[in-house]
Structure formats: C-alpha cells, structure tokens
Amino acid sequence: MALAFDEFGRPFIIIKEQEQKTRLRGIEAQKANISAGKAVARILRTSLGPKGMDKILQSPDADVTITNDGATILEQMDVDNQIAKLMVELSRSQDYEIGDGTTGVVVMAGALLEQAEWLLERGIHPIRIAEGYEMASRIAVEHLERIARTFDFGPTNIEPLVQTCMTTLSSKIVNRCKRLFAEISVKAVLSVADLERKDVNLDLIKVEGKVGGKLEDTELIYGITVDKDMSHPQMPKQIEDAKIAILTCPFEPPKPKTKHKVEIDTVEKFQTLRLQEQKYFDDMVQKCKDVGATLVICQWGFDDEANHLLMHHNLPAVRWVGGVELELIAIATGGRIVPRFQELTPEKLGRAGLVREKSFGTTKDKMLYIEHCANSRAVTIFIRGGNKMVIEETKRSIHDALCVARNLIRNNSIVYGGGSAEISCSIAVEAAADKYPGVEQYAIRAFADALDSVPMALAENSGLQPIETLSAVKSQQIKDNNPYFGIDCNDVGTNDMREQNVFETLIGKQQQILLATQVVKMILKIDDVISPSDY
Amino acid sequence: MAIEKILKDDASEEKGERARMASFVGAIAITDLVKTTLGPKGMDKILQSTGRGREVTVTNDGATILKSLHIDNPAAKVLIDISKVQDDEVGDGTTSVVVLAGELLREAEKLVAAKIHPMTIISGYRMAAECARNALLQRVVDNKENEEKFKADLMKIAMTTLSSKILSQDKEHFAQLAVDAVLRLKGSTNLEAIQIIKKPGGSLKDSFLDEGFILDKKIGLGQPKRIENAKILVANTAMDTDKVKIYGARVRVDSMSKVAEIEGAEKEKMREKVQKIIAHGINCFVNRQLIYNFPEELFADAGILAIEHADFDGIERLALVTGGEIASTFDNPESVKLGHCKLIEEIMIGEDKLIHFSGVEMGQACTIVLRGASHHVLDEAERSLHDALCVLSQTVNDTRILLGGGWPEMVMAKEVDELARKTPGKKSHAIEAFSRALVAIPTIIADNAGLDSADLVAQLRAEHHQEGCNAGIDVISGSVGDMAELGISESFKVKQAVLLSATEAAEMILRVDEIITCAPRKREDRM
C-alpha cells in the first residue's frame, strides 16, 4: 500500500495492493492508528463543556437521538475502525466506572495521541513514549490528590452535592433548570444511599419518562411508578394502606413442567375436571384474600374469569408487570416476591401508604404510583418534557448527575472544574519533566501539553480565544500559586472556579487521566495491523 | 479524502455548518408544508397512504398531516414529535407549534449567518420565552366564578377552534354540541365518556348530541326490540363451548356414542351457564365475545336481549355509563352489580339499526352522532370535534383564557421587543428574532386568508402600542378588529404549551453541530 500526502499533510492511499489481506507495519501502522483515534476525538471535541454542541445520531432504523453525552454518541456511531472501537470502549468504561466525563476522557486520549505522533516523527520509540506517559500520569494523579479539597455534607447540608451535580448538568440540554434537576438527583441519591458503607445502589433509583408537560414538571417520587393500569377497568383507582401481594405465578391453572396428559373419556371425568378448574380460580383468589392482601401485582396475565373474581372480591390487581419493576416494588414495599400461591403468607406482603392511578393528557395514558412505601429506599425520578428526544437526553443527563452524586458519597474529595485541574496538573507535570533524565522527559512534557488541550477545547467551544485565554489562566495560576483558576465558559466575569462553584469529583478526574493514558499506551504499542481486505 | 475511515460503509457524517444547514432546511421545509393550513382560511391537504387500497385522508389537522409523512430528516422528526405531543397533551394547536418552531429556526438561521453563536441564540430565546409567558399570564382572563360567563367563554373557544376546520360552516351548532358534551363531564377530562359515532348520510347539520349511549350493534333475532327499565349484565365471557383450561387435558374417546355423550355434557354445561346468567334477573345481556347460536336461542326463549361481540371499548364504556360491572363468572348473582337504564330500543340512523340506551345512571356520558356526506368528511369532522373537545376539557380544568386571532402573539411580541431593548449583549439580537418569529404567526394567518399581511400586521403593531388593546386580525372582514367583540378566544393552556414546546424544540435543533447517520439497515426487497 502506498501513501502520499495532500496539501494539508494528510496521508491518503493511492494504490491498493492486490493482496488477500491489507497490512500496515511499523511507523505507518502507528500513524494510521493515531489518526483514527484522533478522528474520533475530533468528533467529540465540540461537545465538551457548558457551551458544547449536540449531535444528531440516526440509527439504522432511522430513529433519531440527540445528545452530547460522549458515551452515547460513540456507542451509536456504528464505528468500523479497530482503533476507533478502542476509543469507544474507553468512553464506555468511563461511563461504567464513573458515569460522567465520558467526553473529556476521549478528548484527553486524542490529545495524547496527537502529541505522540509528533514525538514519533522525531524518532522516539513508541515504548519510550508510553513509559513517559505512564510516569506523567502518575505525577498528575498525585498532584490531583494534593489540590483536591474534601467537603462535608450530610442529609441536612446537601448544598455542596447540588453544586457538583449542577456542574455536570450545565453542559446538557437541561441546563435551563439545572438547579431543579441537581436537587432531584441529590435527594434521590441520598434517599437510597448507605452513608455507613458509603455506597449507593443506583438500581434503586428508577428513571421514568413520559412525554408532555414541561421539564419543570419533573418530580421525584418517593416510591415507584409502573406504566400499567389496573387489570379491570372498574377496580378502585386509589388504595390507601395497601398490602401488596407480589406474585410471579399467573392466575391460571398451573402448568407442570413434566409432560403429562389428562385424558377425558367419560362424561363424569369431564364434569369433575370442570369443577376442579373452577375451584382453582376460587382457591387462588381466596388465598390472596386470606393473607390480607389488598392489592395483587402479578408478573403474568390473568384469565378473564380470574380477573372478574378478583374484582368481585374487591381485590385490585395489576398484571403484566416487568421483572425489574417487580423487584423494585418488592424492595420498596418490603414485600417478598412469591412464586407460588401456596407460599403466600401475611409476612410476605409488601406495604405502601398509597397506591393510585394517574392519567395524563388527552390520551388514555395511565400510570400507577406506589407511594409512602414501608421501605422508602426506592425512589423514582419522573421526567416530563416536550418531546421524546428531550426526555431521552434528560434521562442520560440525570444518570450522569446521579453517578456524580454517588461518587461524592463514596469519596467526598473534589477538584475544581472549568479546566483548572488540568491546567494545574499540566504545570506540575511540566515542572517534574525536567527532573527526568533520558528520552522520557520529552514524553512527559508532551503529556503536559496534552493536558492543556482540555481547557483549550473548553475555551474554543465557548467562543473564546483558545491560546490567549489558556496562557492567561496558566500564568495567573503560576503567579498566584493557586490551582483554582479555570476557563470562564459562561462569561461570568471571574476565572476563579471557587466563586463560580464549578466542581468535579476527584475520582472522576483521576480515572479520566488513568484510562486515557492506558488506552493511548495500548495504541502506541501496536506496530502491525492486519485486516482482511474487503472481498 | 479522509485519512482513515472510522465509520461503516454507508454511514455518513455531516459537520458544523453543513449539519446545521441540513437541520434548518429540514425543519423549515416541514413548516412550509403545514403553514398553509393555519388559521380560519387555511387550506386542507390530501394524504394518500402507501398501504393497500391507497386510502385517502383529507385534513388540515397539523398532527394528522405530520404523522402520515415519511421523513428522513432528523430535525424534521423533532418537529413532528412535538406536534404529536401537543396533540396528546392539549389536543389543539398542533399546527401552530410546528409553525412557531420553524419560524424560530428561520430567524436563528439568519443570526447564525451573522456569526452569532448558537448558544447565545439559545439563551436569548430562553429569556424571550420566559418573558412572553409572563406577558400572557398578565393578560389572561379567568371567569371561573361566573358560570354564565364561563360558559360563554367555552362557547367562544369552541367556535374559534372549529372555525379553522371543516366544520366552520356549522360551527355554532358544533360548538354547542361540544360545550354541552364537555359540561356533562363535570370537570373530569375523561373524554372516553363522550362517544362519537359516524354515520354517512344526511348533512353535517344533522349531527346531534344524544344523552344516552348508542351501541353500534344489532339485536339478536327473535328477541325483544324494546325494553323498559332494563337491567343489564355486562360480561366478558366465552359463550361458545368453554375451553378446558387445565393444561394438557384432552378428550380421547373410542366410540361415537361417547362423543355424543360428551357433546351432551358440553351442551348441558352451556345451558347451566345461561341459566346462571338468567338467574341474575336481567333482561339484557351484553357480551364482549361471541354468543353462539345455541345460547342465543336460550336467551331469546327467556325474553332476554342478548348483544354479542361488543368491542372492548364499547363494553368498558357501557359498564361505565350503566354503572354495572364487567362480569366473567356467574356463580354469585346477588353480589354482581347490574347496570340499569330506563329504556333500550332499536333506533335507525340513516339506514343502520343501532341500539340506544337512554336514561342511564351516569349522566356524564353522552354520544355525539356525526352525519355527513362522505367518510372523508366524517373522519375530518371527528378530528375537528376531538380537537374542540380536548381544548374544552382542558379549559374546564384551567379556566384561564386569552383572546385569539393573533392577539396573544402580538402581546408577546411587544413585551419581548421591550426586553430586547433592555438586554445588553448579543442576546438582544436573539430576543428580537424571537419577537419576529412570534409576529410571523399573524402574518401567516393573514396571508392564508389572502389579505395584505404587511399592512395588517403593521396596523396591529400600532394598535398594540396602546395599553389594554384587544386588536387582532378579523379574517372575515379582512381588517383589524376587536377580538373581544368578535368573540374569538383561545385557551391559555394551549398557547402556553405551544410557546414552550416550540422553544424547546428550536433549542434542541440549534444545539446540534453534527449529524451522524448510521448505515440504514438492509431490508429484504419485498417487491
């Protein structure tokens, strides 16, 4: 395969070899990989920060997603290149681990690759670069710990948490009512948090959305909502002090797993069978009634007859409730999931203060609210919004905010945002570089430059002069020896991130640097790409 | 040529200006499409479906038009979505919301061309939307206390809504129908209790409101055609041979006589069931499922009116209005709640026989029978009436109303203009643009009516400089008129929803700077 360069210095392919497999080797392979990584980073670069732009993604089935969440963009991008896939993985692992900063990590990795390319051209061996990056990342992470602040919060003082969530939300479409959403997220997390163990099970927070209404109508429900209605239209729509039987068996005659046949050959048998069948239904309903249940929630469907019997016995029921929701209901109401009618006992019933059906708008949309549960550790965030895409995007934003709040509960250290942490690290790494003898010094210095690219992108997206702004902030940081100066994205008038209340979590930032470095190291170590040619 | 291909073969990627242009163009194209249907003199569209039969729909309902379009442009999809949501939430204003969002984008396009950052435009739009909403809030009229006036308000709103539809010829008649129907609901928004039956034939004027309930079914043969003081059992049960529900059971016989025996047993079982049903002391039995000939005959013998195969909605509604419950088992006749009504009779509308239940227990229910020349007319009439009913039922809950005919837009535009003058910075351009987009709506209404929009809107603007002005566009006389006198009103809730969701959608599209399209999924060629 032969390469040439166009007027912008970008290589392009002239002749395709008539081989079975295309193969790239040595420096060429590294360059191709780097440029692929950079291309991915370039796509995300404009989404960074409070003034970042959104992307429209059209799926193979022509569904539209509008988002600026890095992980979502990459996931839906239908990437074909191997290295680009690595970047997608990178963003995904940041999403799993931290939940936020998925864009930042890719931009960071892209910048590292860019610097590496330059070093490669100077003839530095990729492994040396990788080692230099490794050292630099260690310095940066240690430095982050030094400049990190811890703050105290408690169930009464949630302000710092809210502020941090607001920083996360300010880059999303919901930033119009970020205060509201931040408060909702923090309250949701706190109500399910285990402050002793410093852990939060995010599975307990359900995020549910319904189109219509305004974003401001979004609410936090201390309980569960289920997108179902009562199985019989005439069952009561509101139940107070409900005792809930949570069943995973259908209201139908049992279906034994073993193969069997019931043969009917006489009239008597036919009649006994019929009687037995009726008894089944009666028994089932009676069992529920006997244990004192006032509401039956079932994973499966009911027969018409069972439905009427339930109605008749004044026992409201909900059918076809999904497994996940069933579990949440069980957790929230303190009930147990019962797989067989025989095992139904009063202790296994869940309790809720209020169960009500609520309808929306002009269509017949109904939802079931289960509130004031015995164990209020499961909550629901119920999102309203003008259209489907806003709701989807809001869900993603809320997820990010929830993750941030959780991270803070795990570790209450924060660093200041707006690029200030990166600039500060960059200064520290730069200073440390001079102490290393050997070629790694260059790699470490390059790492420092790469760190600058995040604030640079922030400034660029905010419509500021990137280089001018960055150098001004940097000199200010060195002069005042103060790591709190960052990019003033919102035109507030101060560079001091403490005043702007822009925080990010320490673990989020550390993870970003570590993950980006790791992936870049991996990409640098590849010196041969063999891929089957297209047909 | 890009260096490395990252995306799959057919996937495409558009960036920056091009992406923005693609979404502007798409959104504006959609707006231009529905624009001509706005206002009392708006035109209709013919939609032909791609399905079998090439069915034709004639409508000027924005949501219906947009729903039937096959669109590939992502930004256009956002607009279609907001119109659908508007339809679900408030029922009316589906065209206005799209037009407003489109106009906002059209203005934004100019600002972007003038090198103003989309984020600045967005924050300007937000301020403007908030300000516009407050302006409306200050000018709302609330006649909740005064029942007479409120009823008149409802009448006005219904007439305003209907005036842009096919029913405009008989709008007073239909407005009366809609208001009566909604007032019967006594504040609930449950439109299910209002049933609309369409019967071709006659003219639109022959449509009427019936206080009872009409079921589009025939009475079984040999059964009474008229029952007074009916006791109705509403059921959902199989009236053919009951299936044996125990898993794995099957009949296995070895001789013909046994077959006959079992058949006899089955018949006996059915007879028992019918006896049980009759034992409820009813004289009318309505079932959701089929009733086979054998039980039907039994019912006829007992002098009971049996109606089979009423669809699920029909059953639910019937149970609701007669106050009965939907029964599936019949062992305890004493505890089953029966439905009641004063009179069941067979009536004729046009050529069809229908069953009419009058004097039902729940007075909320009613039926509107629509008559009209063709199916298309009837369908459109139903959509129009549905819009009116939705708006009215929402207004009953939120009684604040505004004047119509472009008046709210002018009020908002004036306030927003003032805000633009007070706001420093680039945002003021965006705020100004917002006000221009608002003014575009009266302009379009005037244009559609074939009036000189430039002249009229200028006149309106001048009028609105005085405090407490009620001026709007009077399409009938083609001049600026007093909307309060002309009795043109709109619901505040609808206007607010239009304003907010249009701004939200415009914002969303403006934020985009890149469109990534995945390779379309390969489908087998079905031809």
CATH of residue A420's domain is 1.10.560.10
Inter-chain CB pairs, A–B, below 8 Å? 246
Is A189 a domain residue?
no
Indicate the DSSP class of residue B524. -
Q: Which residue of A has its CA nearest to B324?
A: A234
Q: Is residue A394 situated within a structural domain? A: no
In contact, A371 and A223? CB cutoff 8 Å = yes
Select from B72, B88, B258 the Cβ nearest to the Cβ of A362. B88
Which residue of A lies nearest to B72 if distances are taken between CA atoms?
A62
What confidence tens digit (pLDDT) does each residue in B412-470 have? 999 999 999 998 888 899 999 999 999 998 899 888 888 888 888 898 888 888 877 88
Q: Please indicate, yes or no, if residue A37 is contained in any of the structural domains.
A: yes
* Residues from chain B contacting residue A359 (CB–CB below 8 Å): 189-190
Asked if residue A484 is part of any domain, the answer here is: yes
Q: Would the CB atoms of B516 and A273 count as touching at under 8 Å?
A: no
Q: Which of B286, B497, B103 is nearest to A362 (CA)?
A: B497
Annotated catalytic residue within B57, B94, B367, B423? B94
Is residue A473 domain-shared with residue A359, that is, in the same domain? no
Q: Has residue A383 been placed in a domain?
A: no
What span, in angstroms and rounded, lies between the C-alpha atoms of B312 and A282? 25
b or e along B42-67 (b: 16 or more beta carbons within 10 Å of the residue's beta carbon)?
Answer: bebbeeeeeeeeeeebebbbbbbbbe
DSSP for A280-311, written as a single string = HHHHHHHHHHHTT-SEEEESS-B-HHHHHHHH
Contacts of A84 in chain B (CB under 8 A): 4, 6
Cα B426–B499–A54 angle (5° rounding)?
55
Average pLDDT (B196-216) is: 81
Q: Looking at the structure, tell me whether residues A350 and A256 fall in a common domain.
A: yes
Q: Which residues lie closer than 8 Å to B458 by C-beta, 6 or more apart? A: none
Rounded Cα–Cα distance for residues B491 and B494 (Å): 6
A-chain residues within 8 Å CB-CB of B19? Answer: 56
In one-letter notation, the amino acid at residue A212 is G
**Nearest chain B Cα distance for residue A435, angstroms:** 38
pLDDT for B11-47, tens place per residue? 777 777 888 888 888 888 888 888 888 878 888 888 8
Residue B13, classified by CB atoms within 10 Å of its CB into exposed (0-12), middle (13-18) or buried (19+), is middle
Q: Are B314 and B195 in contact (CB under 8 A)?
A: no
CA angle A462, A466, A469 (to 5 degrees): 95
Mean pLDDT lowest among B225-229, B363-367, B437-441:
B363-367
Q: Domain containing A58: what range?
A: 21-150+416-532
Q: Are residues A362 and A240 in the same domain?
A: yes
CA end-to-end distance (rounded Å), chain B: 37
* Percent of chain A as helix, strand, coil, to the nearest 5: 50, 20, 30
Torsions phi, psi for A219 (to 5 deg): -140, 160
Is there a contact between B89 and A212 if contact means CB atoms under 8 Å apart? yes
Burial readout B378-403 (b: 16 or more C-beta within 10 A, e: otherwise): bbbbbbbbbbbbbbbbbbbebbbbbb
Catalytic entry in B37, B57, B59, B95: B95
Give the position of tokens 């809107």.
B457
pLDDT above 50: residue B3: no
| Set B59, B61, B423, B503: catalytic member | B61
Q: Which of B210, B202, B133 is nearest to B177 (CA)?
A: B210
Chain B residues whose CB is inside 8 A of the A254 CB are 247
In a shared domain, residues A92 and A142: yes
Q: Which helix (H) or strand (E) holds B250?
A: strand B249-251
What residues of chain A lie within 8 A of the CB of B238, using their CB? Answer: 304
B61 is catalytic: yes
Quick one: A355 and A242 in the same domain? Answer: yes
In sequence order, which residues have a C-beta less than 8 Å from that of residue B269 and are 6 or more positions away? Answer: A271, A274, B241, B242
Q: Is residue A183 part of a domain?
A: no
pLDDT digits (tens, 9 = 90+) for A351-403: 888 888 887 655 566 788 888 877 767 788 888 876 778 888 888 889 888 88
Q: What domains can be seen in chain B, in order of their start residue?
A: 12-141+403-517 (1.10.560.10), 146-201+370-398 (3.30.260), 213-239+269-362 (3.50.7.10)
- Please give the residue that has the higher pLDDT: either A129 or B255: A129
Q: With 70 as the cut, is the pLDDT of residue B55 above it?
A: yes
Q: What is the 3-state secondary structure (H, E, C) of B385-411?
A: HHHHHHHHHHHHHCCEEEECCCHHHHH
Catalytic residue among A102, A167, A469, A517: A102
Active site residue B367: no
Residue A483's CB: how many other CB atoms inside 10 A? 22
Q: How many structural domains comprise chain A?
A: 2
Statement to judge: residues A453 and A355 lie in one domain: no
ipTM exceeding cut-off 0.90 for this assembly: no
Residue whose tokens read 């260690």: A138
Which residue has tokens 């199916």? Answer: B375
Which tokens go with B271?
A: 């007879």
| Secondary structure of A211-239 as H, E, C letters | EECCHHHCEEECEEEECCCECCCCCCCEE
Regarding whether A356 and A247 lie in a shared domain, the answer is: yes
Q: d(Cα A69, Cα B25) in Å, to the nearest integer?
A: 25
Does residue A5 form part of some domain?
Answer: no
User: What is the SS3 assignment for B430?
Assistant: helix
Question: Quick one: pLDDT band at residue B132, thresholds 50, 70, 90?
Answer: very high
Asked if B256 reaches chain A (Cβ–Cβ under 8 Å), the answer is no
Q: Is B469 on the interface with A (CB under 8 A)?
A: no
**Category of B257 on φ-ψ map: left (φ > 0), alpha (ψ -120 to 50) or beta:** alpha
Give the pLDDT confidence score for residue A448 in this predicted structure: 93
Q: What is the pLDDT of residue B1?
A: 31
Same structural domain, A231 and A353:
yes
Rg of chain B (C-alpha set): 29
Which of A375, A403, A427 is the endpoint of a domain? A375
- Between helices A82-97 and A506-525, what is the axis angle to 10°? 160
**Active-site hit among A46, A67, A103, A168:** A103
Q: What is the pLDDT of residues A118-145, one digit of tens each?
A: 999 888 888 999 999 999 999 999 999 9
Q: Is residue A200 part of a domain?
A: no
**Which pLDDT value is given to residue A140?**
93
- The runs of H, that is alpha helices, within B140-235 are 147-163, 171-184
Which of A362, A365, A366, A464 best probes binding to B when mutated, by most B CB atoms within 10 angstroms? A362
Chain-chain contact of B245 with A303 (C-beta, under 8 angstroms) = yes
A290 labelled catalytic: no
B94: annotated active-site residue: yes
pLDDT-above-70 percentage for chain B: 90
pLDDT at residue A518, as a whole number: 92
Q: Which of A344, A375, A406 is the last residue of a domain?
A: A375
Residues A356 and A300 in one domain: yes
Q: Report the run of H or E that residue B47 belongs to, with start and end.
A: strand B45-48
Q: pLDDT at position B86, please? A: 83
Chain B residues in contact with A261 (beta carbon < 8 A):
248-250
Contact B82 A304 (CB under 8 A): no
CB–CB contact A234 B508 (8 Å): no
A457 contacts in B (CB within 8 Å)? Answer: none
A348/A229 same-domain check:
yes
Do A290 and A358 belong together in one domain? yes
Instruction: For A57-86, write each residue's pLDDT tens digit.
Output: 888 877 888 888 888 888 888 777 888 888
Q: What is the pLDDT of residue A255?
A: 67
A371 and A429 both lie in a single domain: no
Higher pLDDT, B123 or A254: B123
**Best interface-test mutation with B: which of A14, A387, A461 has the largest number of B CBs within 10 A?**
A387
Q: Per the residue annotation, which of B387, B417, B447, B474 is the catalytic one?
A: B387
Q: The whole model's pTM is what? A: 0.80
Q: How far, in Å, CA of B146 to CA of B150, rounded?
A: 6
Q: Which of A375, A399, A425 is the last residue of a domain?
A: A375
Find chain B residues with C-beta within 8 A of A60's C-beta.
Answer: 518-521
Q: Residue A342 maps to which CATH number?
A: 3.50.7.10
Nearest CA in chain A to B22: A56
Which residues have C-beta within 8 Å of that of residue B237, sequence separation ≥ 6?
A304, A305, B287, B289, B327, B328, B329, B330
Burial degree of B519 (CB within 10 A; 0-12, 13-18, 19+) = middle
